[in-house]
Amino acid sequence: MKGFRSAAAAIVLIMMTALLSGCLYPKDQLGQYQKPPKDAILNVQTVVDQFQKDTGLLPIQNSDEKTPVYEKFKVDFDKLQRMNYISTIPDTAYEKGGSYYYLVINEEKDPTVKLMNLVLYQKINDLEASVMAYADANGGKLPAGQKLYPSFTAIDYDALNVKEPVLHSIFSGSLLSAMMDPSGHVYIDYGADIMQQLSKLNEGKKPASDTDLRMILVDNSDFVPVKSPLYKLVNGDPQAVLN
């Protein structure tokens, strides 16, 4: 009876996740990875800079300390509209049914507008819900595949009985894989993208071993590596590590 209840709970969780995800996917942009025009990002950056100059504050929504760094400070478009800093919200913003959150990173030293892709974000959330449901129904056992890094494994999709999600890198356009930590939290493996950027650096510009390598991706694009773990340089290669 206990096993039946666990299985039933798992099915309900998956159904609820599917219903919720239908609401969370950006309207009319489902599954798309179209990139916003550069001027839209530059315009928002200009407005953010002006708002800070005028008020001494940043137009960002509140977040807690547990929010991952690349999901944390969303631009508060409602405030910017109320205070007449913008007339319209960018079409690619979530608030207008688009596929991106506009974020502010480096908020203390150099506030910079970057974009977080919501299609990738929701795909990983959906997958993590399936992993957690599987663990609940199987006494805490995770659908672990081969080891990818010391603290991360691939996901056994056959055991999970779901299709592997198609994850197109917002940085390179190549296909990336999902992976999970020992607690069942799911991430995108950006190791290949980071390695590609590292290969472009001169030997004297190689990052230190304690550098968060995700910054290499952020510094060379308008986007953030959503649902990413921390990466460090280990023996010359990028390695995902637990925070």
Q: Are residues 69 and 55 in the same domain?
A: yes
User: Considering the chain, what is the average pLDDT of its residues?
Assistant: 88
Cα separations (Å) of 29 from 20, 82, 172? 16, 27, 20
Give the number of domains in the chain.
2
The last residue of a domain, from among 118, 139, 161: 118
In a domain, 64, yes or no: yes
**pTM: predicted TM-score of the whole model, two decimal places:** 0.84
In a domain, 132, yes or no: yes
* Residue 33: per-residue pLDDT: 56
Please, what is the end-to-end C-alpha distance for the chain in angstroms? 39
Q: Are residues 167 and 204 in the same domain?
A: yes
Phi-psi region of 38 (alpha: psi -120 to 50; beta: other; left: phi over 0): alpha
Confidence of residue 201 (pLDDT cuts 50, 70, 90): confident
Q: Are residues 139 and 229 in the same domain?
A: yes
In a domain, 87, yes or no: yes
Q: Are residues 145 and 218 in the same domain?
A: yes
Domain that holds residue 158: 123-241
Cα separations (Å) of 100 from 17, 94, 209, 223? 20, 5, 31, 10
Q: Are residues 231 and 166 in the same domain?
A: yes
Return all residues near 234 (Cβ < 8 A) that are at least 6 apart: 209
**pLDDT tens, 20-42?**
444 444 443 444 556 788 999 99
The last residue of a domain, from among 118, 144, 162: 118
Q: Are residues 173 and 195 in the same domain?
A: yes
Cross-strand pairs, 167: 176
* Residue 87: per-residue pLDDT: 95
Helix (H, G, I), strand (E, B) or coil at 114: strand
In a domain, 21, yes or no: no
Average pLDDT over residues 114-118: 97
In a domain, 17, yes or no: no
**pLDDT tens, 43-78?**
999 999 999 999 999 999 999 989 999 999 999 999
The last residue of a domain, from among 91, 118, 145: 118
Question: Crossing angle for the helix pair 2-24 and 118-137, nearest 10 degrees?
Answer: 170
Q: Are residues 112 and 205 in the same domain?
A: no
Determine what percent of the chain is predicted with pLDDT higher than 70.
85
Q: Are residues 183 and 86 in the same domain?
A: no
Q: Are residues 100 and 164 in the same domain?
A: no
Q: Are residues 65 and 146 in the same domain?
A: no
Cross-strand pairs, 75: 60
Q: Would you say 172 and 198 are in contact if contact means Cβ atoms under 8 Å apart?
A: no
In a domain, 10, yes or no: no
In a domain, 24, yes or no: no
* Residue 203: per-residue pLDDT: 64
Q: What are phi and psi of 194, to 5 degrees?
A: -65, -45
Average pLDDT over residues 115-122: 97
Q: Are residues 153 and 77 in the same domain?
A: no
* Residue 226: per-residue pLDDT: 97
Average pLDDT over residues 3-24: 41
Q: Are residues 140 and 235 in the same domain?
A: yes
Determine what percent of the chain is predicted with pLDDT higher than 90.
77
